[in-house]
Chain A
Amino acid sequence: MESFRQAFELLFPPDRELLQIIGVTLRMSFFSTLISCLIGLPLGALIGSKSFRGKSFIKKLIHTLMGLPPVVAGLIVYSLFTHYGLLGKLNMLFTVRVMVVAQVMLITPVVIGLTSSFIESASKPVIETARGLGFSGLKTARLCIGEGRSSLFSVVLNAFGRSIAEVGAVSIVGGNIQWKTRVMTTAIMLETNKGKFSFALALGIILLIIAFIVNALASFIVKEVKDD
């Protein structure tokens, strides 16, 4: 109950630092989801709809990357962007931008894997019908996306959920810097390490509320799409 009281106190009136943390969290999750989907949805659709040499190997690779531990992704990105790393000159370490890069590395395989599975199974009758009618590849692809848009929306939602809940990679590359790269999950981790369990739990409750609002909005949109 103490945690719920603290969560309420943080929200009403809104704590300035909390608002900043929520802002960074949403910004990071939005952009990492957007970039992952821009890369992952077309690639997933391509892998799911085409037969080609090495497809089985690529699918195995994607399924392996879907389980990539966040700390490993964090370490890879850290080593790339550190001062002596390949991309060190960009001077991006401990910024929100590099946190987005780490998350894109984690989420893109998930988007590719889920999209290709969906296209392979659910889109089979769509593809068969479209080919039977002599439709072009482009028209068939557009139909697949149109027919499966609520399922593809779930893929996007899944990516967002993974992004907003991630802690390992963003804490390594972002550094959990106050007023700069601190997000909800790294703030919870910090408060837990400080022994402030009920405050950490209060932050957790707020994170859950944010996730619930995003999911409710998405469900509403999906329902609108289905009813269309």
Chain B
Amino acid sequence: MIEINNLKKRYGERTVLDIPSLSINDGETLALAGANGSGKTTLLKILGGTVKASEGSFSIPGSILYMPQNSYAFRGDLIRNILISGADRSKAFELLEKLELSHLADKKAKSLSGGELQRLSLCRVLSGKCDLLLLDEPTSACDANGAELVIKAIKDYQKSCGCTVIMSTHSPLLALNASDRLIILNSGKIEADGSPEETLANPGTQWAKSFIAGWKI
């Protein structure tokens, strides 16, 4: 279980994250939603160990894999980009197949479109094993078909390894179809927390209500 206590992040005078208490169960898939600058990425980066919290504590069970918001293509072809993480060739091909990139396997990764690169980045992360998977906006560059492939791949991975998944998103599709818990953040604070269905039906605060209204589901 992930336990967060009084977690705060400040940049100068500005507090970008302020979570008094939060528990995330093992095997849970949690979606973090909220406007730009609401603290989604900051929370992921703190949990992933790339940013230090200004205050507070948290516990992480075991190993972590983190996919940053901006996908990066290493030089070489798509296969090399996956093998670099230590996966074997058959696993790499299996993931490329799953995310409909196998026809580009021997192409240079730097020549991919934004959506293709994001799917490759997901392949690279999913080729490893972890207890906690952190995904920062994994469908932000994908079209509708790409987003569905990503959602399926995340679900399959979670099912096979039983790990905890925390992902930030602006996509209602991802928040509602791939997660079993939805947290809405505003200016670093939790505005709503519950199952996606519950949160949609009863968003809690007025701000969360107007945020969800903007999703146009």
Known A-B contacts A132-B125, A133-B85; the reply to A125 vs B65 at CB < 8 A is no
- Minimum CB–CB distance from B163 to chain A (whole Å) comes to 13
Residue of A nearest to B63 (CB): A134
| Contact residues of B: prevailing secondary structure | loop
Q: Within 8 Å of chain A (Cβ to Cβ): is B58? A: no
Q: Is B115 an interface residue (CB 8 A)?
A: no
B72 & A133 in contact (Cβ 8 Å cutoff): no
Interface residues on B, range: 20 to 34
Contacting A134 at CB < 8 Å: which of B65, B70, B71, B72? B65
Interface SS majority for chain A: helix
| Residue picked from A128, A129, A133, A228, most chain B C-beta under 10 Å | A129
A133-B85, A134-B63 known; A128 vs B50 contact (CB < 8 Å):
yes
Contact of A133 among B49, B70, B75, B125 (CB under 8 A): B125
Asked whether any CB of chain A lies closer than 8 Å to the CB of B176, the reply is no
B residues within 8 A CB of A143? 74, 84
The CA-CA distance from A134 to B49 in the complex, in Å, is 10
A126 proximal to B (CB < 8 A):
yes
CA distance A132 to B134 in the complex (A): 9
How long is the Cα–Cα vector from A191 to B67 in the complex, in angstroms? 62
- Mark contacts of A116-159 with chain B using CB atoms, 8 A cut-off: 1 yes-contact digit, 0 otherwise: 00000000011011011110000000010011000000000000
Contact B74 A133, beta carbon cutoff 8 Å: no
Q: Which residues of A are found within 8 Å of B70, using beta-carbon distances?
A: 125, 128
Checking B49, B71, B84, B130 against A131 with a beta-carbon cut-off of 8 angstroms, the contacting residue is B49
Chain B nearest CB from A211 CB (Å) reads: 29
How near does chain B come to A35, taking the closest CB pair, in angstroms? Answer: 29
Contact: A132 with B67, CB < 8 Å?
A: yes
Closest to B64 in A: A134
User: How many whole Å from A33's CB to the nearest CB in chain B?
Assistant: 25
Nearest-neighbour CB distance to chain B for A134, whole angstroms, equals 7
Quick check: is B48 within 8 A (CB to CB) of the other chain? yes
Which residues in A have some Cβ–Cβ distance to B below 8 Å?
125-126, 128-129, 131-134, 143, 146-147, 228
Query: Can you report 14 residue pairs joining A to B where beta carbons are below 8 Å apart?
Result: A128-B68, A128-B72, A131-B49, A131-B66, A132-B50, A132-B125, A133-B65, A133-B66, A133-B125, A134-B63, A134-B65, A134-B128, A147-B74, A147-B75
